[in-house]
A and B are shown apart, each in its own frame.
Chain A
């Protein structure tokens, strides 16, 4: 489940204040204004990483290994999206993602870049188009080292180490996922 930025409202307010403080001089000098569009924690890849933590298995001794500890992050990927208006009808969308790190996975920091343009078709309607691209932010699952006693020590997919798949084959199932790299929005607004 995506962790929206609700409970950390205080931090959100602080970020907005920080933005207002930092953006004000720029707006004065270049007549550009920068607005905070969104701030949230979590992403589809964060959710996916969290999902990998479901389940577990017994070792040969019978002791239980839970996946949760491998796929838990103390800091969930935070995204800040901003819009810098450069003309009355166009703006640059940009933002940052902090990434997150668990013992057996990582989500890399990300950078969002894009633009927004709008056209007023008549006094009551407008058409806007925005395109944004995300650079980085990939989810990478890390392997474990499994000791099978006399049968050897292998680099394995942590989640599949106790299954029937050959240890070396389990590495094929390590998760390597990229975020959605391109977003395209087309909006038509009619006021009546």
Chain B
């Protein structure tokens, strides 16, 4: 297969990772999306859907951990979360993050979720249909990737001719210049595994990168009394130690929001990373990433196994807490 045809194949298979699982595998039409991303700029912000930036209440779908960690003070201030997602297609679906039923595009949902977790963070929207490089903001950056790049299984990552968009993201994760929160996928396979003869090559390209975080979904937020299980659709860490050490899980309580999928797991981690970055203003993306890994909990998970849960369930309160104090 030529490089050009492989690029086309990847673009055609751009898949959002939300679940109503029926739509998770549906590829959006690049032409359709491009037509709706006006101006040809690299950043396409939807002006039609209000973002709940002022909603700072802890919602029932959030981990209790968020409420415990929220105190008067910063909630992501000084950190920019860039949501790379669909902000231009005609595909919309309904859900409720606790502020009323809304019908929005995929990217508008993930953007709203991240902004509710980290209400003081600066949120940018990057329409993924443009393919242009993702610019970083001044200061600390978090990239949210609630999508995958699928094509026929069997290629080496080096064979992929990445668009400037994904090339820039992979570069940031490699150099450690931004925290990259990547939805693990909704095919109930190991990260990067084959499903329907295809693989998510963006997952594969991010394996072993210093600031890449693969985010799986739990069916509930875990507690020590009520331990959580991996959501039935969620991809899991698998046997690769490089994935296990960069894999986190969070609760995606779709029974409360009507929104399922690891698409809605990644923005939670993006929000957590922003909050950590707002507290530790000198922290590098690598340090923020490692803080999340080092403080993930395993005692809130049913039958913890690193090949399923990776490092465990992300804990914001522990990520903000000291190792020791005297």
Report which A residues bind B (CB closer than 8 A): 57-62, 65, 144-152, 156, 158, 160-167, 169
Contact = CB atoms under 8 A, between A and B. Distances in A.
Nearest to A151: B280
A60 B278 contact: no
Contact of B325 (A146, A151, A163, A166): A146
Nearest to A158: B325
A165 B325 contact: no
Contacts of A149: 291, 294, 323
Contacts of A146: 322, 324-325
B61 interface: no
Contact of B323 (A60, A158, A160, A169): A60
Contacts of A152: 280, 282
Contacts of A162: 69, 317, 320-322
Contacts of B72: 165
Contacts of A62: 297, 299, 318
A172 B44 CA distance: 40
Contacts of A148: 280, 291, 322-323
Question: Contact size class for B?
Answer: 20 to 34
A164 B323 contact: no
Interface in B54-85: 69-75
Given A149-B291, A166-B74, A60 B326 contact: no
Interface in B288-302: 290-291, 294-295, 297, 299
Contacts of A58: 317-318, 321
A60 B287 contact: no
22 contacts: A59-B318, A59-B322, A60-B295, A144-B326, A145-B325, A145-B326, A146-B322, A146-B324, A147-B325, A151-B287, A152-B282, A161-B322, A162-B321, A164-B70, A164-B71, A164-B279, A165-B71, A165-B73, A165-B279, A166-B278, A166-B279, A167-B279
Contacts of B70: 164
Contacts of B295: 60
A58 B35 CA distance: 51
Interface of B: 69-75, 275, 278-283, 287, 290-291, 294-295, 297, 299, 317-326
A147 B324 contact: yes
A136 B172 CA distance: 57
A164 B291 contact: no
Contact of A164 (B275, B318, B325): B275
A166 B280 CA distance: 6
B322 A164 contact: no
Top 6 A-B pairs, shortest CB-CB distance: A165-B73, A146-B322, A162-B321, A163-B71, A147-B324, A164-B73
Contacts of B290: 150
A149 B283 CA distance: 11
B294 A60 contact: yes
A168 to B, nearest CB: 8
Nearest to B280: A151
Contacts of A147: 322-325
A81 to B, nearest CB: 38
A60 B321 contact: yes
Given A58-B318, A59-B323, A145-B326, A165 B74 contact: yes
Contacts of B291: 148-151
A164 B316 CA distance: 10
A8 B212 CA distance: 64
A151 B71 contact: no
